[in-house]
Amino acid sequence: MNTSSQHSDRIETTPVLIVGGGLVGLSASLFLSRHGISSLLVERHPGTAIHPRATGFMPPTMEMFRFAGIEEEIRKIEPEIPQGTNVPFLESLVGQELDCLQEDIDSLFTDPSSPVRGSAIAQDVLEPVLRSQAERLGGDLRFNTELVTFEQGTDGVIATIRRRNSQETSTVHARYAIIADGSQSPIRKQLGIGQHGLGSMGTFISMIFEADLMELFHKRHAIMCFLSNETITIGSFVPYAGSSVRPDLFRLDVGYDADEETLADYPEERCIQLIRAAVGISDLPVKLKTTLTWEMNALVADRFQLERAFLVGDAARTQPPSGGLGGNTGIAEAYNLSWKLAAVLRGEAGEQLLTTYDQERRPIADYTAEQVALLSQQRQNEGSSGITVDARTINGGYRYRDGAFVHEAGDEQLPLAQQAQRWQGQPGTRAPHLMLKQEEKSVSTRDLFGFHPVLFVGADGQHWKKAARNVQDQLHIALDCYQIAPHAGDLIDAENRFCDMYGIPTTGAVLVRPDGFIGWRSKDAIEHELEAQQTLTQALSSLLFH
């Protein structure tokens, strides 16, 4: 990116400028469009990803894609995840098994805290789906367009963009900018935002090739494997998306010393030798498709917001690929930020709400990078003993320690993360998943979130419903309200589990943010409409900095 000024004839305006059209940038465009907010996305490459990269999206992420309206489309093209598959540590694909790093990989894609199962779809298959839906919803996506200059002012950002085919430039004025321009983020560097963390954890050569190996993976009951032998110190081996989409396409990653070697030191003949050593068959027919180098890092930006610019995805933090959480974490960042930007741009929230993006997501990035680094070290050290890292807890069992929610007494003593189903409605945690009946149809509590704050009230909480109607008018915001009761109510809780799961009495209430996190709850015995209205007004005002 060139930061010098350049003549531009065309001036454009947009509420949000998104820099970067990869997995996270496209998700941000899509989420904003679902909230009714226009955006302009620029991506220097001519199209979406051509390498699988991130593979595997966990249940909370699929909930976000359900909100975005693309779950069904993903299901049509996602690969199957056979039950009983695992992640072994091997001498080679046909050699001795040294350890099992993850048993029953299917369990990672199902979670009792979510109504949705995960997906093993790969990034290069998913991104066209994201792009298509974002365009259908009116997102202005400009591929083959690069950012030339970027500046911040008191009331917005000013950027110069250039179409790479025609060299035509234009000036873009935006209220806010989402920076999703990758791990080397030129904008992060221009803004002077540093990074912290473990740093480099190794450099790798990635080889994508064709071979007839799927039957060997099936015999191993392996969705992927790690390996080490006399030829390969440490490597990972994975079928393309672990699926039947391309049953003859695979990827092998092996470590190399970037100080001593370059990609040029890995010609086709050497790559084929490494592939054969990984498989354990010296004369295996192999067709090498492409090779690339990459560095495994664990780094987090020192801040996720500077004035009107917000870092997301790899621009905000990078982490090892172990556990497949990089893409999931980046999408969660875009989801967290999008509802806040929408609330501010619609005038429903004060601008201070945006500062909670950094408050909430940066500590989670630190935690995730640390945990995934432990998982990666475990796998590189040829074994799983002594380290317990639960990917589902990392991805969906965390809580926000500070941010857009109302604290309760003693919550500073709560852990940063635990199994998601162990939370009981504490502010700053994911709202529990509970199946209910709505007009004879089954619905999860988590399917009710997305667009507006949601107020759940107990069986004896009629006063909260009346208060909610008045508060909506008073604060000029949309608020969905549901009474949950075992028999009569907006939602029927036949097993009478709601109050226990959300930690309130039958006269209580819980306020859930659009992103499905608890914002506030009342555990006190408030029984009068006026008191309920005052309490709810204060809670919403605190949540939205109204």
Which pLDDT belongs to residue 319? 83
Categorize the per-residue pLDDT at 243 as very low, low, confident or very high, splitting at 50, 70 and 90: very low
Q: How far apart are CA 126 and CA 123, in angstroms?
A: 5
Categorize the per-residue pLDDT at 546 as very low, low, confident or very high, splitting at 50, 70 and 90: confident
CA 400, 402, 406, 410 dihedral sign is: positive
Of 131-135, 145-149, 288-292, 444-448, the least confident: 288-292
Categorize the per-residue pLDDT at 245 as very low, low, confident or very high, splitting at 50, 70 and 90: low
Over 60: is that where the pLDDT of 200 sits?
A: yes
Q: What is the pLDDT of residues 449-489, one digit of tens each?
A: 999 999 999 999 889 999 999 999 899 999 999 999 998 88
Contacts of 71 (CB under 8 A, 6+ apart): 62, 65, 116
Q: What is the pLDDT of residues 201-232, one digit of tens each?
A: 788 899 999 999 988 988 888 888 888 899 99
Q: What is the pLDDT of residues 497-515, one digit of tens each?
A: 999 999 999 999 999 999 9
Looking up tokens 């396409």 gives 249
Instruction: With beta carbons less than 8 A apart as the criterion, state whether 42 and 147 touch.
Output: yes
- In this structure, which amino acid lies at residue 46? P
Categorize the per-residue pLDDT at 242 as very low, low, confident or very high, splitting at 50, 70 and 90: very low
Stretch 303-330: mean pLDDT? 89
Over 90: is that where the pLDDT of 40 sits?
A: yes
Q: Which residue would you say has higher pLDDT here, 395 or 305?
A: 305
Residue 489 DSSP code: S
Longest CA–CA span in the chain (Å) reads: 80
Over 90: is that where the pLDDT of 411 sits?
A: yes
Instruction: With beta carbons less than 8 A apart as the criterion, state whether 62 and 119 touch.
Output: yes
- In this structure, which amino acid lies at residue 339? W
Q: What is the pTM of this model?
A: 0.91
Stretch 160-185: mean pLDDT? 95
Q: How far apart are CA 348 and CA 474, in angstroms?
A: 12
- Would you tell me how many other CB atoms lie within 10 Å of the CB of residue 23? 27
Over 70: is that where the pLDDT of 176 sits?
A: yes
Phi, then psi, of 257 in degrees rounded to 5: -95, 105
Of 51-65, 424-438, 460-474, the least confident: 51-65
The domains found in the chain, sorted by start residue, are 10-196+298-352 (3.50.50.60), 411-544 (3.40.30.120)
Over 90: is that where the pLDDT of 535 sits?
A: yes
Over 70: is that where the pLDDT of 433 sits?
A: yes
Q: How far apart are CA 281 and CA 231, in angstroms?
A: 13
Which pLDDT belongs to residue 5? 43
Q: Which residue would you say has higher pLDDT here, 122 or 144?
A: 144
Which pLDDT belongs to residue 87? 85
Which pLDDT belongs to residue 68? 95
User: What pairs with residue 292 in β-bridges?
Assistant: 206
Stretch 150-169: mean pLDDT? 94
The percentage of residues in the chain with a pLDDT greater than 90, rounded to a whole number, is 66
Over 60: is that where the pLDDT of 3 sits?
A: no
Stretch 157-185: mean pLDDT? 95
Stretch 431-456: mean pLDDT? 95
- For 338, the 3-state DSSP assignment is helix
Stretch 8-29: mean pLDDT? 93
Average pLDDT, the chain: 90
Q: How far apart are CA 234 and CA 254, in angstroms?
A: 6
- For 521, the 3-state DSSP assignment is strand
Contacts of 501 (CB under 8 A, 6+ apart): 424, 425, 432, 434
Which pLDDT belongs to residue 494? 92
Range ranked top by mean pLDDT from 83-87, 119-123, 508-512, 521-525: 508-512
Which pLDDT belongs to residue 244? 42
Over 60: is that where the pLDDT of 384 sits?
A: no
Over 70: is that where the pLDDT of 424 sits?
A: yes
Measuring CA to CA, which residue among 3, 8, 24, 6 is closest to residue 336?
24
Q: How far apart are CA 237 and CA 224, in angstroms?
A: 6
